Amino acid sequence: MAQTPGNPMIPDGVEGTGGQAAGGTRAGSGTDTGGSSRAAVEADGLHFAYVRGEAVLAGLSMRADAGRLTCVLGPNGSGKTTLLRLLVGLARPGEGEVRLAGRPLGSYRRADLARRVAYVPQETLAAAPFTVAETVLMGRSPHIGALGFESEGDWEAAEAALRQTGTARFADRGLEDLSGGERQRVLLARALAQEPDVILLDEPTAFLDIKHQHAIYSLLRRLARVEGKAVVAVSHDVSLASAYGDRLVLLSKGRVAAAGTPDEVVRPAVLAGVYETPVEVRIDEATGRPYVLPRPPE
Amino acid sequence: MCRTRSTLLLRAACAAALALAAGCDDSAAPGASSAGAAAPGPGSASAAPAAGEGAAAPPMRILSLAPNLTEILFAMGLGDHIVGRTTYCLHPPEAAALPAVGDTLHLDLEAIIRAEPTLAFTVTRLPETVRRLEGLGIRVVPVENDRLGELREAIATIGRETGRPEAAAALLKTIEADLAAVRGRVAGLARPRTLFAFPMTVGSPRIMIAGRGSFVDELLDVAGAENAYPDAADWPTVSPQQVVAMQPEVVVINAAVPGPAGRDEAIRRGWESLSSVPAVRDGRVYVLPEAYLTIPGPRVGQAARVLAETIHPDLAGEAAP
Amino acid sequence: MTPRPLTRRRYVFTILVWMAVWLIVSAAAVVVGGRLWAWPSAAQVWDVLWLRLEWVATASAVGAALALAGLAMQALLRNPLADPYILGVSGGAGLAFILASLFVGAAAAPALAFVGALATVGLVYGIARRRGRLEPYTLLLAGVILNAFYAAAIMLVTAVVRPQERGDIALWMMGNIGAFGPQWELIGVVAAAAVGAGILFAFLAKGFNLVAMGEDTAGALGVPVHRLRLAAFVAASLVTGASVALAGPIGFVGLICPHILRMVLGPDHRRLVPASFFFGATFLVLADLATCLSEGAAIPAMPVGVLTALAGGPFFIYLLRTRWRKRLEIR
C-alpha cells in the first residue's frame, strides 16, 4: 500500500499525536493488576465448559483497560475464543463474572451492550451477497430503531469507519469479491461503525500477509491510544502481539499463565512452559520490544 | 353266515347310495341354504346355464357386480339366486344380507370362489375383471347401463341370460308405464331451465352437474324440464360464473351421501350468494336426498316422479293417476 | 446496486408504490377475469363482481402469506430451497383438513386444518429442539421426517376412501383459489395472519440480515438470535397453516417470489419483507387470472397450484443458468 499522507494504514514507526511511546510500563505477575485507568472489561474467575466435565476455562481472571491494546495469546485449545465470546456476552460462564465498566454484563440490556462492545469474529463467509457498504452499515444496528431505518448520522458513521480502515473505495463491491485482507478490514470497519468503547477481535490477522498484519495491528493500537478504546485482540503470533500490544495475557489450559507488559511475558521460560517447545527471545532494536524465535524440539 | 354278512354289506351300500342321492338333492334345492352363509355344495358349480330352458331352469348362482343390477335382479324375482354383491349394493334391504365380494375395482376373489357363482353380471368393460372372472369358470355378461335405452337392453339381456324373459318383460312394462305417467302429468307445463347438481366439494370452486345426454338429463326431460347446461356431456364441472351465465330457474341438488348435520343448510347458503340466478331469487333451490336419482334401475319411474314433483310443485298435491 | 440508507420516508414510499401496483393488478384481475363488461344484466354483473372480488382477495391473502412464509423459512434455515411447506406444516394442515372434511364436515375443515398446523409446529419444535434452541439443521431434518410421515398418512387415507372422495382429495392437494359459496370469514383470517406476519417480519428484518452474516456476529450486535428463530418459525408456520386451510397447498409461490425479489432488490430483508407481501399477493392474483382466462379454451380451468408448478420449474432453471445466479446465492 502506498505511503501517502492521510492513509491510515501506514505502518507506524513512531506514533503521531498523543499516546505513549512503544513499550510496556511496569512489571506484574500472575493476574494482570497493572494500569491506573479503570478497567473497561474485566473477567473474574471464569469457569466454562461446553460439555459437562470438560472445562475450557478454569478460573480465569484478566482485565483489559481503556486506552490499551491487550493481546490474548496461547496455544490451540487454551480457551482464547471462548474467553472472547464470554467477554462479549455470547455465552454465560458456569462460574465467575464478566464486568463492563464495573457492572456485570447481565445488568446491561442487550442493545446497550451492543452499543458499547464490538466483536469481530474470525472471518466467515456471509450467507448472503451484501455489499461492503451494507455490511458496514450493519454495524449501526444497535443504534437504529426496530424497523431498521438509517439516518444521515448512521451513514456518516459508516463512511468514517470505511475511511479509517481504508476500505472506502470498495463500498459498492460485494463482500466475496474482496481478498482476505480487505474483507478483514471491512469487518473491522463494521465494528468501528458501532462506535463502541470496547473492541474484541478473534485472530484479526489470521489470513493476512505481513504487510496487512502490521497495518491492522497498527490501526488497533491507534484505536486504543488515540481514541481511548479498550481493544482486545486474540493472536497466535507472539512476536506481532509483542510488537504492538500494551498488555499481553498468556493463556494455558483455561487459565492465565502470565500477564503483563511484553517484557514481562515474552520470556523463554514462560513461553516454553506454555507452548511446550523451546524458544529463544531477542529484542528488536528498532522498537525495543522482544520477539520470539522458536527452536526445533530436542 | 357268509350270506348274512354279504346281504348286510349290500344293504349298507344301497343305503349309502340313497343317502348320497338324497344329499345331492338337498344341496340342489333352490333357496334352502343360499340365504345367509354360502353353503359349499358339491359338484354342481360347473352346470352351464342354458338359454331359454323354460320354467325348470338349472340352478343359477348369480354374482351381481353393480347396485343397479342387484336392484334389477331383485325386481325380477331373482333375489334368491344372488350369491354375491358389491359392497355398495344396499337396495333392496334384503340385498344387505348377501355376502359382499368387493367392488368393481377391487374384487375379493376368495369370497367369489367361496360363493361359487355360475353367472356374473357386471357394468364394467374392464378386460382385467372379465378375464379374472372367466378364469374362475364363471360366465360373465357385461351390460352397459348408463342411459335409459341401455337400461331397457340390460333388463332384456338379464332376462335372456337367466331364462326369465317374461319377468324381464313385466319389469320393462312397469317402468315404461311409470315414465309415461310422469310424462302425462307434465305435458303442457312450462319446461323450466334446470340444473341437476351435486353438493360442493371442499377445495374446489366447481360443482359437478348433469350434462345433456346423460341419464339424469333424460330423466329431466321426462320430468318436464330443460337442462340449463347447453352442451353434451355426462358429468361436467362448472364454476359459479358459468352458473350465473346459465341462469337456471330450478336447481336440484342431489345430496345422496349422508353428510354431517347442517350440511343441507350449508349447501343452500353456498348458493345464496348467486342472487342473480332465478332459482336462487325465487327460492327454487332444492336438496334431494334420494340416492336412486342417478342410478338407472327399476326405480327410474320413482326418480322421474320425484323430479317432476320437485320441478313442478303444483303437481305434488295431485294424486298420481 | 448502489446502497442508500433506508430512511423512513423511502420505506413508506416503497410500501405505497407496492400497494398501488397490487391494487391496480387486482382491479384489473377483477374486471378482466370476470369480463364485467360482457354480462346482459346488472344483477349478473353484481354476482360476478363479488365472485371475482372474493377470489382476488383469496389470492392476495394467500399469495402474501406464502411469500412471507417462504422468505422467513429461507432466512431461518439459511437454505435457498426452503419453502413454506418444508417443515411439514402443509402436511399437518392437509391431513387434518382431509380427515375433517371426510368425517366431520366441510364447515369445520378449515378450523381443524389450522389445529393440524399448530400441532405440527409443536411437533417440529419438540423434535428439533436442542437445549431449548432451534438450529437450522435439526429443523430441516424434523421437517423432512414429518413431511414423509404426513405424505404416507395422506396416501393411506386416499387409498381407503370411496372413489369419488379420492378424486376430491387429489383435487384439493393441488391447491385451489375460491370455493362455491362465500368464505369471507376465512379470507379475513388469512389476510389478518398475513398482515400480522408481515409486520412481525418487518421488525425482525434487521435481525434476519445480521443472522445471515453469522450467528455470533448477530448476537454481538444485539440480536436475540434464538428468540428470533423461534418467532420466525412460529409465525411462518401459522400463516402457512392458515393459508393451506383456505386454499390448499399451493406450491412454488413461497419459493419463487422471494428469489425474484432478491434478484431485483438484493438480500436486504428490510426491503424484501414489504416487497414479498405485496409481490406475493400480486403474483398469485395474476396466476389466478391466468387460470380464469385459460378456461375458455377446451381445457377446463386448471387449479392454480398446477399453473404455478408448471411455470415455476422452468423459471427456476432459467434463474440458475443465468448470471442472476450470483445474486441468489445463500450459503
Neighbours of chain B (3+ CB pairs under 8 A): C
pLDDT of residue A34: 45
Tell which wins on pLDDT, B233 or C32. C32
Residue span of the structural domain in which A85 resides: 27-101+197-209+225-298
pLDDT at A16 over 90: no
Q: Show the beta-strand stretches assigned E in chain A.
A: 39-51, 54-65, 69-73, 95-100, 103-104, 117-120, 198-202, 230-234, 247-252, 255-260, 279-283, 290-294
- The amino acid that residue C270 corresponds to is R
pLDDT of residue B26: 40
Query: Of the candidates C97, C105, C248, which has its C-beta nearest B259's C-beta?
Result: C105
Q: For residue A108, is it within any domain?
A: no
The Cα B300–Cα C208 span in angstroms is 67
Instruction: Quickly state the pLDDT bin for B268 (edges 50, 70, 90).
Output: confident
The arithmetic mean of pLDDT across residues B38-43, rounded, is: 40
Considering only A221-235, C181-195, C291-305, which range has the smallest mean pLDDT?
A: C291-305
Q: In chain B, what is the straight-line distance between the N-terminal and C-terminal CA atoms, in Å? A: 83
Please answer whether residues B65 and B122 qualify as being in contact, where contact means their C-beta atoms are separated by less than 8 angstroms.
yes
Q: Percentage of chain A surpassing pLDDT 70? A: 85
B241–chain C Cβ distance below 8 A for any pair: yes
Domains of chain B: 59-175 (3.40.50.1980), 189-317 (3.40.50.1980)
- Give residue B9's pLDDT: 55
Mutate to test the interface with B, among C180, C243, C244 (most CBs of B within 10 A): C180
Of C220, C326, C329, the CB nearest to A90: C220
User: Is B262 an interface residue toward C (CB < 8 Å)?
Assistant: yes
Note the pLDDT of residue C149: 94
CA–CA min distance C272, chain A (Å): 13
Instruction: Tell me what pLDDT residue B65 has.
Output: 85
**Residue tagged 437450522 (cell numbers):** C136
A246 falls within a domain? yes
Higher pLDDT, B104 or A22: B104
Dist CA C307 CA C250 (whole Å): 10
pLDDT higher at B7 or B132:
B132
With contacts defined as CB-CB under 8 Å, which chain C residues touch B291?
none
Q: What is the DSSP string of C263-329?
A: HHH-S-HHHHHHHHHHHHHHHHHHHHHHHHHHTTSSSPPPPHHHHHHHHHHHHHHHHHHSTTHHHH-
- Give residue-wise pLDDT tens across range B97-133: 888 888 767 778 888 888 888 888 888 667 787 888 8
Task: Tell if the CB–CB gap between C216 and A119 is shorter than 8 Å.
Answer: yes
CA–CA dist B38, B36 (Å, integer): 6
Q: Do C214 and A90 touch (CB under 8 A)?
A: no
Distance CA A160, CA C312 (A): 44
Kindly state whether residue A166 falls inside one of the protein's structural domains: no
pLDDT category, A192, cuts 50, 70, 90? very high
Binned at pLDDT 50, 70 and 90, residue B1 comes out as very low
**Least confident interval from A117-126, B55-64, C16-25, C254-263:** B55-64
Q: What is the pLDDT of residues C270-286, one digit of tens each?
A: 999 999 999 999 999 99
**Does the pLDDT of residue A33 top 80, yes or no?**
no
Residues of C within 8 A of A130 (CB-CB) are 209, 212-213, 266-268
| pLDDT band at residue A138 under the 50/70/90 scheme | very high
C179·B241 Cβ contact <8 A:
no
Q: Report d(CA B92, CA B98) in Å as an integer.
A: 11
**Phi and psi at residue A97, in whole multiples of 5°?**
-145, 145
User: Residue A26 has what pLDDT?
Assistant: 36
Rounded distance between C-alpha atoms, residue C312 and residue C314, angstroms: 6
- Using DSSP, state whether A174 is helix, strand or coil: strand
Q: What is the pLDDT of residue C194?
A: 97
Q: Highest mean pLDDT range out of B167-171, C40-44, C53-57?
A: C53-57
pLDDT at position C316 is: 74
DSSP C96-127: HHHHHHHHT-TTTHHHHHHHHHHHHHHHHHHH
Cα C180 to Cα B259, B267, C52: the distances in Å are 17, 9, 12
Is A174 part of any domain? no
Mean pLDDT of A40-52: 86
Residues of chain A in contact with residue C331, where contact means CB-CB under 8 angstroms, are 125-128
Interstrand relation of B237-238 and B207-208 (parallel, antiparallel or unpaired): antiparallel
Chains with 3+ CB–CB pairs under 8 A to A are C
- For residue B296, pLDDT beyond 80: yes
Question: Are residues A129 and C220, on separate chains, in Cβ contact within 8 Å?
Answer: no
d(CA A215, CA A285): 20
Cell numbers at C318, concatenated: 432459467
Give residues with Cβ within 8 angstroms of C84, minimum separation 6.
C66, C69, C70, C73, C90, C236, C240, C243, C254
Q: Does A181 map to a domain? A: no
Whether residue A123 is predicted with pLDDT greater than 70 in this model: the reply is no
Pairing of strands B193-197, B226-227: parallel
| pLDDT over 50 (residue B32) | no
Q: Does C268 touch chain A (CB under 8 A)?
A: yes
Give the pLDDT mean for C147-160: 92
Which pLDDT score, from 0 to 100, does residue A21 have? 37
The pLDDT of residue A216 is above 80: yes
Closest partner CB to B266 (pick from C50, C106, C301)? C106
List alpha helices for A72-166, DSSP H. 80-88, 110-116, 132-138, 152-164
Kindly state the DSSP code that residue B232 receives in the 8-state scheme.
B
Which residue from C44, C104, C163 is facing B105, i.e. has the nearest CB? C163
Coil, strand or helix at A17:
coil
Average pLDDT, chain A: 82
Average pLDDT value for chain B: 79
Cell numbers that stand for A188 in this block = 473491522
Contact C225, C135 (CB under 8 A): no
pLDDT at B316: 66
Check residue A20 and report its DSSP letter: P
pLDDT tens across C55-112, in order? Answer: 999 999 999 999 999 999 999 988 888 999 999 999 999 999 989 888 887 778 889 9
pLDDT class of B57 with cuts at 50, 70, 90: low
- Specify the higher pLDDT residue, A115 or C316: A115
Under CATH, what is the fold of the domain C8-328? ABC transporter involved in vitamin B12 uptake, BtuC (1.10.3470)
Kindly state the average pLDDT of the residues A99-125. Answer: 88
Angle at A214 between CA A210 and CA A218, to 5 degrees: 170
Whether A273 shows a pLDDT value over 70: the answer reads yes
Which pLDDT belongs to residue A3? 38
> Cβ(A219)–Cβ(A164) under 8 Å?
yes
Query: In chain C, pLDDT over 90 holds for what percent of residues?
Result: 58
| CB-based contact C172 B277, cutoff 8 Å | no
d(CA B152, CA B296): 10
Query: Do A104 and A281 contact (CB within 8 A), yes or no?
Result: no
CATH code for the domain in which residue A201 is found: 3.40.50.300
Domain count of the fold of chain A: 1
Q: Looking at the complex, does the CB of residue C136 fall below 8 Å from at least one CB of chain A?
A: no
